[in-house]
Chains A and B, each alone.
Chain A
């Protein structure tokens, strides 16, 4: 076999092996998306019921609480950034980080000190490389978060919002994560968790509010008292929102991995195709050369014997 042909054969073999790996990763990610999507759907009833409860307290009680009232001069804001532990997911983590950067600069321009909390090794590495201060970080569960993980993440945030700003507390909590819109679309979003924004966020919602405008909201009886209920609601609300964000981020990460691996598999397929064309051409050239060598050798031999006959 010619040297050129051998080089092509070897490359085709290695690309085929890579293609098998990326194909397997694509299929694993695809099956995980379905699982993650189911988890998001399963966590929805709790989140909706809790949000409903929180809104009804916020609208029907007049008590002042961190959950519902905005501080006049917010000076410190916490930002929780959710990224992934592992790469091979296209622009998934860097898009989330970019969104966090945008939010951070916006908050700084409003003269607020930003306190950063990070979930996922990718985000941590980005901040660590740039020597930025990170108040707290968690890794190891981004692929498959549980409610217990959400509680662990929420604990320091809850502590920070209940503390005074002078004592190291914060006035606002923001969260940056990748929203799972569909299999094909995942968008990084910035949300303010606290204080609550009761204002309708979309046109549809405001239409809904307008429609119900005349309706009288039920007057709630609080047991034991409005403050106690709010005190107990606040941590649950934060935990549930963080849990939902973690689940959505996990689903988005799997979707991003699937897409990245699909394009890697496609690229490998293209590469194999063009390499086999080149290998075919090399083989053909080799055969042609051999034939011309044989023909040349035969005619030289024929010439020689014809000469000796004479």
Chain B
């Protein structure tokens, strides 16, 4: 059995996903980072973007994360985000509509959020 790390993906108001994984890829300020079991203790600032979790049973979980932190210690990875959604929970049509709406208006933040959601759906 391959080495595993425990992952907790939590949003401000709920626990989005938790379980065992072999690899987690997330985007932090200095670029994409892959965390595998036994990584050095790390604390980083997350950028908005899709997070890919390769679970220990071979599946892949993709989530859209809008800002937050990543902390790894004692083989436990915590992804803290103000808002986070699993790609399966995202409605692509709705995100696209939101993106169009944001483009026509000047709402940069909403546009970025919709964009991250669509990227997460695409990466699924």
List residues of A whose CB falls within 8 A of some B CB.
Answer: 39, 42-43, 45-46, 49-50, 52-53, 56-57, 146-147, 218-224, 228-229, 232-233, 236, 239-240, 243
Contact check, B11 vs A46: say whether CB atoms are below 8 A apart: yes
Given A43-B12, A218-B41, A223-B42: A233 in contact with B33 (beta carbons within 8 A): no
A79 CA to B103 CA, complexed, in Å? 41
Contact check, A236 vs B13: say whether CB atoms are below 8 A apart: no
Residues of A within 8 A of B8 (CB): 45, 49
Contact check, A224 vs B43: say whether CB atoms are below 8 A apart: no
- Which secondary structure characterizes the binding site on chain A? helix
Contact check, B14 vs A42: say whether CB atoms are below 8 A apart: yes
A243 CA to B10 CA, complexed, in Å? 15
Other-chain residue from A147, A220, A223 in contact with B82 (beta carbon distance below 8 A): A147
Other-chain residue from A52, A219, A232 in contact with B71 (beta carbon distance below 8 A): A52
Contact check, A223 vs B43: say whether CB atoms are below 8 A apart: yes
Confirm or deny: B94 has a beta carbon within 8 angstroms of a beta carbon on chain A: no
5 interchain residue pairs of minimum CB distance:
A223-B44, A218-B41, A147-B12, A49-B78, A45-B10
Residues of A within 8 A of B41 (CB): 218-221
Q: Which of B28, B29, B33, B71 has the most CB of A within 10 A?
A: B71
A210 CA to B26 CA, complexed, in Å? 36
Task: Specify the chain A residue showing the minimal Cβ separation from B81.
Answer: A46
Other-chain residue from B11, B13, B43, B68 in contact with A56 (beta carbon distance below 8 A): B43
Contact check, B10 vs A46: say whether CB atoms are below 8 A apart: yes
Contact check, A45 vs B29: say whether CB atoms are below 8 A apart: no
Contact check, A223 vs B30: say whether CB atoms are below 8 A apart: yes
Task: Specify the chain A residue showing the minimal Cβ separation from B14.
Answer: A42
Contact check, B30 vs A224: say whether CB atoms are below 8 A apart: yes
Given A147-B13, A218-B41, A221-B40: A53 in contact with B68 (beta carbons within 8 A): no
Contact check, B12 vs A240: say whether CB atoms are below 8 A apart: yes
Contact check, B13 vs A53: say whether CB atoms are below 8 A apart: no
Residues of B within 8 A of A146 (CB): 13
Residues of A within 8 A of B73 (CB): 56, 218, 220
Contact check, A53 vs B78: say whether CB atoms are below 8 A apart: yes
User: B26-54 interface mask toward A, CB cutoff 8 Å, 1 = contact, 0 = none?
Assistant: 00111001000000111111000000000
A57 CA to B78 CA, complexed, in Å? 14
Residues of B within 8 A of A224 (CB): 28-30, 44-45
A73 CA to B122 CA, complexed, in Å? 54
A298 CA to B16 CA, complexed, in Å? 88
